[in-house]
């Protein structure tokens, strides 16, 4: 299969199972460009039959893949990275027409994906385990890491290209085989284009499989993942609401899960913060991909002594962001993913304004494009400021504070615990505050969106559990204890 994104034409996609692009016996469904509504693909609407075939293929491929020499895996990962680099321009185009991603965000994902492939290429050479001292004379005890088997992944529509790599690449790097169910909103950039890349790189058949489904028809595929004994782990990136449903299934099936969920992601600007740098960091952190990323900044707490200057500077910078078709290289703010997303943002903005909030900029939509919006003086009971439910879009709330402790307690008053940022010129002061945050990530003088391929991204509380990067070895391998005794044992009977 060849994925194309030519203007006015639509790709017809199929599933990728056991190294082959299968004929779609089931109906197809339309994938549309969120900017103009054009159909960009007709994707295969798979279900239980395709999922079962994909899991069987992964299970059959697992023994050989797990036993493959590290150098062979390394060669494949590096070749895949080269292909990602070579296809940069067409990948940018794909992410624009399928997911509304700007060139800046698409290029950001491509660079991270290439870097992660190149870093993962060396992970097969990591130490395989430890030798543990035994209290039993003549006994040697070794603890080794073994891959789990088949890992099934759910890949999201937002940040689709990079987050899909993260979902399946980490299990592959540690010797597992994979089956991916991409979001129906972005089946190509959340899975199918990856299959093209891995196929060209020469990955063995069955190591990576993709099954797509029509809107509202995920359950049949999901059920197979949880029911199959071959699937040892479920890797999910998405909302905490969906994760609770999947978690209940995992509990019944006793399946391991890795979850990367939502976040409220506060930023605290102390009185000694560099205002110009803070404006740049917050603009990037809040409005990258129209605020549709789990690590986007949602609420900014600003010391009152610098509040007015910061708000004025931030508002001016945000107003300068170009809005429009994400195919335009200069556009930063493109469309939201669908009408429901626009409706949620508008309802929450209007709720805050009706309660007395001040609109600094934004607050209007044109089709699926919602202007980047900044609210100040938002009452504590407004939906968008409580931290109880993530607002997924280009909406930023700013609150002044007189006391750092009060701001810190407010920033922590959320069920989420993914990312947080602290802006200050005083390194010690920043580190002291960071140590107390109950989040998986804290950045000092950087956006909540800061990311690198090898770093352990992940959250606590309702933001999930498990980590990406090198630390994913904890999630996608299991420990095996082996002992060897060279002397006769002593037994109580």
What pLDDT, on the 0 to 100 scale, is given for residue 250? 95
CB atoms < 10 A from the CB of 330, how many? 10
**pLDDT over 90 percentage in the chain:** 91
What pLDDT, on the 0 to 100 scale, is given for residue 19? 97
Residues 346 and 319 sit within 8 Å (Cβ to Cβ):
no
Q: What is the pLDDT of residues 117-142, one digit of tens each?
A: 999 999 999 888 999 999 999 999 99
The label of the residue with tokens 């559990």 reads 465
Query: If you average pLDDT over every residue of the chain, what do you get?
Result: 94
Mean per-residue pLDDT, 224-247 = 95
5 pLDDT tier (thresholds 50, 70, 90): low
Tell me which residue of 390, 384, 233, 373 sits closest to 315, measured CA to CA: 373
Look at residue 6 and tell me whether its pLDDT is greater than 60: no
Query: What does pTM read for this prediction?
Result: 0.94
What pLDDT, on the 0 to 100 scale, is given for residue 389? 84
Q: In this structure, is the dihedral angle defined by the CA atoms of residues 46, 48, 49 and 51, taken in order, positive or negative?
A: positive
Q: What is the pLDDT of residues 424-474, one digit of tens each?
A: 999 999 999 999 999 999 999 999 998 888 889 999 999 999 999 889 999
What pLDDT, on the 0 to 100 scale, is given for residue 2? 62
Q: What is the pLDDT of residues 155-171, one digit of tens each?
A: 999 999 999 999 999 99
Q: Return d(Cα 294, Cα 454) in angstroms, integer.
A: 18
Out of 159-168, 264-273, 285-294, 444-453, pick the least confident. Answer: 444-453
310 pLDDT tier (thresholds 50, 70, 90): very high
Q: Return d(Cα 182, Cα 11) in angstroms, integer.
A: 16
What pLDDT, on the 0 to 100 scale, is given for residue 452? 84
Residues carrying an active site annotation: 260, 294
Residues 6+ apart with CB under 8 A from 273: 303, 306, 423, 424, 425
Look at residue 12 and tell me whether its pLDDT is greater than 90: no
Alpha helices in 355-466 (DSSP H): 404-412, 427-436
What pLDDT, on the 0 to 100 scale, is given for residue 166? 94
What pLDDT, on the 0 to 100 scale, is given for residue 451? 80
Look at residue 4 and tell me whether its pLDDT is greater than 80: no
User: Could you write out the DSSP letters of every residue in 33-92?
Assistant: -TTT--EEEEEE---HHHHHHHHHHHHHHHHHHHHS-HHHHHHHHHHHHHHHHHTHHHHH
Mean per-residue pLDDT, 214-219 = 94
Q: What is the pLDDT of residues 313-329, one digit of tens each?
A: 999 999 999 999 999 99
- Tell me the three-class secondary structure of 175-232, residue by residue: CCEEEEEECCCCCHHHHHHHHHHHHHHCCCCCCEEECCCCCCCCHHHHHHHHHCCCEE
What pLDDT, on the 0 to 100 scale, is given for residue 52? 97
CB atoms < 10 A from the CB of 61, how many? 22
Structure tokens belonging to residue 239? 């909302």
Q: What is the pLDDT of residues 58-112, one digit of tens each?
A: 999 999 999 999 999 999 999 999 999 999 999 999 999 999 999 999 999 999 9
Q: Return d(Cα 18, Cα 435) in angstroms, integer.
A: 47
Look at residue 224 and tell me whether its pLDDT is greater than 80: yes
What pLDDT, on the 0 to 100 scale, is given for residue 213? 95
The label of the residue with tokens 């697992």 reads 62
Residues 57 and 175 sit within 8 Å (Cβ to Cβ):
no
9 pLDDT tier (thresholds 50, 70, 90): low
């Amino acid at each position: 299969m060849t994925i194309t994104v030519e203007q006015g034409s639509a790709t017809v996609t199929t599933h990728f199972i056991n190294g082959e692009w299968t004929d779609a016996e089931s109906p197809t469904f339309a994938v549309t460009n969120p900017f103009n509504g054009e159909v960009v693909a007709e994707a295969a609407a798979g279900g239980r039959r395709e999922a079962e075939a994909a899991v069987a293929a992964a299970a059959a491929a697992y023994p050989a893949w797990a036993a493959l020499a590290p150098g062979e895996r390394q060669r494949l990962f590096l070749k895949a990275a080269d292909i990602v680099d070579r296809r940069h321009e067409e990948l940018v185009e794909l992410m624009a027409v399928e997911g509304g991603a700007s060139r800046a965000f698409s290029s950001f994902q491509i660079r991270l994906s290439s870097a992660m492939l190149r870093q993962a290429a060396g992970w097969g050479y990591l130490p395989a385990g430890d030798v543990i001292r035994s209290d039993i004379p003549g006994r040697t005890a070794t603890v080794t890491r073994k891959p789990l088997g088949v890992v099934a992944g759910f890949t999201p529509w937002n940040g689709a290209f990079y987050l899909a790599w993260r979902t399946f690449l980490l299990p592959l790097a540690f010797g597992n085989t994979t089956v991916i169910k991409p979001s129906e909103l972005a089946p190509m950039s959340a899975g199918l284009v990856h299959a093209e890349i891995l196929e060209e790189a020469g990955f063995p058949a069955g190591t990576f499989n993709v099954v797509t489904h029509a809107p509202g028809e995920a359950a049949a595929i999901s059920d197979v993942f949880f029911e199959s004994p071959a699937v040892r782990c479920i890797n999910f990136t998405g909302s905490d609401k969906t994760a609770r449903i999947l978690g209940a299934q995992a509990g019944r099936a006793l399946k391991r899960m890795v979850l990367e969920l939502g976040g409220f992601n506060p930023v605290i600007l102390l009185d000694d913060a560099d205002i110009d740098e803070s404006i740049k960091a917050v603009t990037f952190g809040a409005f990258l991909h129209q605020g549709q990323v789990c690590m986007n900044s949602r609420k900014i707490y600003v010391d009152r002594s610098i509040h007015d200057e910061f708000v004025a500077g931030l508002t001016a910078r945000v107003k300068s962001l170009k809005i429009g078709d994400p195919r335009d290289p200069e556009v930063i703010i493109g469309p939201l993913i669908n009408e429901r997303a626009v409706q949620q943002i508008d309802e929450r903005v209007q709720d805050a304004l009706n309660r007395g909030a001040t609109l600094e900029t934004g607050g209007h939509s044109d089709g699926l494009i919602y202007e980047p919006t900044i609210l100040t003086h938002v009452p504590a009971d407004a939906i968008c400021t409580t931290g109880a439910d993530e607002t997924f879009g280009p909406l930023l709330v700013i609150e002044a504070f007189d006391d750092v402790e009060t701001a810190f307690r407010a920033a922590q008053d959320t069920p989420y615990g993914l990312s947080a940022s602290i802006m200050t010129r005083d390194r010690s002061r920043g580190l002291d505050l960071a140590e107390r945050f109950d989040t998986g990530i804290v950045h000092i003088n950087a956006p909540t969106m800061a990311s690198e391929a090898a770093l352990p991204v992940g959250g606590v509380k309702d933001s999930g559990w498990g980590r990406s990067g090198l630390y994913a070895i904890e999630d996608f391998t299991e420990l095996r204890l082996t002992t060897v005794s060279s002397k006769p044992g002593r037994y109580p009977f």
